[in-house]
Amino acid sequence: MKLDLLSSGPSTLVTDLLVVFAADQNADKEKDAKPKIALLTNDETVRRAADRVVTSGEFKAAPNETSLLHAPQGLKAARLLLVGVGRAAKFSVHDLRKAAGTTVRFAKPRAVRSLAVVAPANFDIASTCRAIAEGAIVGDFESDTYRTDRTDQNIASASIIVPESDRAAAETGLREGIIVAESQNFARTLINEPANRMTPTILAQKAAEMAEEFGLRCDIYGTEKLRELKMGAFLGVAQGSDQPPALIVMTYEPANAPAEPVLGLVGKGITFDSGGLSLKPADSMEKMKYDMAGGAAMIAAMRAIAQLKPKVKIISIICATENMPSGNAQRPGDVQIAMSGKSIEVVNTDAEGRLVLADGLFYARQLGATHLIDAATLTGAVAIALGQVNAGVFSNDEPAYAHFVQALETSGEKFWRLPVEDDYRDQIQSAIADIRNTGLTRYGGATNAAMFLKEFVEDTPWVHLDIAALAWLDADKPWIAKGPSGVAVRSIIEWARSYATPNSHEK
């Protein structure tokens, strides 16, 4: 799908589909009253063409509600689509992003090859174009790559109609939106690959190709180097698999960036999580190809960063391995010595994400990272705590967390903070080693995992994202396909950008 800007009048535009967003202007207190629908365009011809459906009461402008008109009167467009964004008073740029996704997903199966969207005037034009571009590109992704009966229904071109005077700012927003959303889809493509086609070696290759394309440095380390680095926690997980592990290290060092901060982006890259000897039951194992979603998110974020070029140094580390049972696999009760020197009692081999991240986070600090963020499909417990609406965020540092909250304002992603406080430390105390890799009880499982990571982060400012419940969508939504979601990619990009000079206000 090619995205561009247009400044012609919407009513004179020749296109398969003209798209106008619509809001309900009724105030909240009039909840039950008939919706007062406002089309988000000031083109009178378009308003007139939609008049009948708007006054009929058939279309309520509810979020992501659609209404399609053929041969709309007075318009050159073959069809006119109204897409609801909900109540005008609550309308945000994040609703607009979803509505743009809904537009593309509505249009694709209906033989639409070109469409044009009227940019609403509710927000600044850069944010508007960025949101529309992101929604459209994210909405365009499908996960049915291997179906031989796949009928490609791609939209060749989508245009955003903006006022001529806003073209420069619109262009900036559009460009950012394309970079960010294409990166999110890049993560989704990596996550979607089955484990037999996305081994640690292949994941490393994909990262290296991306790095080559966008001018990042990328080093790939194998078992020998992991031994040299004494990454006992990572190696303990990897030893059960016939597939060699890969430690992926990407560096972004713009010449104009200050020496500090150095951001460390660390991702869990378990290309398949069988549970190891603490084997998962079949229905829990079925989708465990997506246990590298945190690692994919970091590779994707680096892809966007390389293009957006913020003035800040960034290192990214992905610990890629399978977690398999075998004669060489680590056993429950084994003790491993992490790179930091801490001894770990591996009580449950299925709590492997925290083991690989322990060495990944510690190594990032050793390479000079002053601020850390990690993303991982780490615990089932985070889904119990937060459901499938919010992902979990944990932090040991208020300023780093504040940067993340700021990032969420731009990304529109939903994260909910959970505790990582020392009061929980006794949950990971081991009788035989420094720490154990599972909590003593089942309670607070997502926090117990975060507490484990904190042992290796120590006092370095750190944000931990547990995306287990949201990295895979089990059902289609109007604006996004089922399958890998690419959650966290946009927020990680914005978190990193928030540290760039000249915007950087704290260390």
Binding window for ligand BES (CB under 6 A); candidates: 66-74, 202-210, 314-322, 349-357: 349-357
Strands (E), 358-461: 371-376, 391-395, 415-417, 435-436
Q: Using CA atoms, how far apart are residues 435 and 433, in angstroms rounded to an integer?
A: 6
Does 322 participate in binding ligand BES (rule CB under 6 A)? no
Give strand pairing partners of 262: 313
Cα dihedral 224, 225, 226, 230 sign: positive
Does 269 participate in binding ligand BES (rule CB under 6 A)? no
Does 430 participate in binding ligand BES (rule CB under 6 A)? no
Give strand pairing partners of 477: 480
What are 351's two structure tokens?
């709590």
8 A C-beta contact, residue 392 and residue 386: yes
* CA 144-148-150 angle, 5° bins: 55
Does 466 participate in binding Zn ion (rule CB under 5 A)? no
> Would you put residue 458 in left (φ > 0), alpha (ψ -120 to 50) or beta?
left
Contact with ligand BES (CB under 6 A) among 16, 24, 134, 352: 352
Site string for ligand BES, 364-393 (x = CB under 6 A): -------------xxxxx------------
Binding-site size for Zn ion (CB under 5 A) equals 6
Binding window for ligand BES (CB under 6 A); candidates: 43-51, 174-182, 350-358, 415-423: 350-358
Q: Which is nearer to ligand BES, 184 or 437 (CB)?
A: 437
Site string for ligand BES, 271-290 (x = CB under 6 A): --x-----------------
Does 413 participate in binding Zn ion (rule CB under 5 A)? no
Chain centre to alpha carbon of residue 44 = 39
Q: Does the annotation count 280 as an active-site position? A: yes
Contact with ligand BES (CB under 6 A) among 155, 468, 488, 489: 468
The residue from 48, 280, 311, 417 that is catalytic is 280
Binding window for Zn ion (CB under 5 A); candidates: 100-108, 264-272, 301-309, 363-371: 264-272
Q: Does the annotation count 60 as an active-site position? A: no
The residue from 188, 354, 365, 436 that is catalytic is 354
Q: Using CA atoms, how far apart are residues 445 and 422, in angstroms rounded to an integer?
A: 15
Binding-site size for ligand BES (CB under 6 A) equals 15
Range list of H helices, 196-249: 200-214, 223-228, 232-238
Minimum Å distance from CB 429 to ligand BES?
A: 15
8 A C-beta contact, residue 423 and residue 434: no
Does 16 participate in binding Zn ion (rule CB under 5 A)? no
Contact with ligand BES (CB under 6 A) among 166, 350, 359, 494: 350
Q: Using CA atoms, how far apart are residues 356 and 346, in angstroms rounded to an integer?
A: 12
What's 401-463 look like in SS3? HHHHHHHHHHHCCCEEECCCCHHHHHHHECCCCCEECCCCCCCCHHHHHHHHHHHHHCCCCEE
Contact with ligand BES (CB under 6 A) among 291, 345, 455, 494: 291
Three-class DSSP category at 242 = coil
Binding partner of residue 438 among Zn ion, ligand BES, none, CB cut-off 5 to 8 Å per kind: ligand BES
Question: Could you tell me which of 247, 270, 284 has the C-alpha nearest to residue 323?
Answer: 270
Query: Which residues are near ligand BES by CB under 6 A?
Result: 273, 291, 348, 350-353, 377-381, 438, 445, 468
**Residues with active-site annotation:** 280, 354
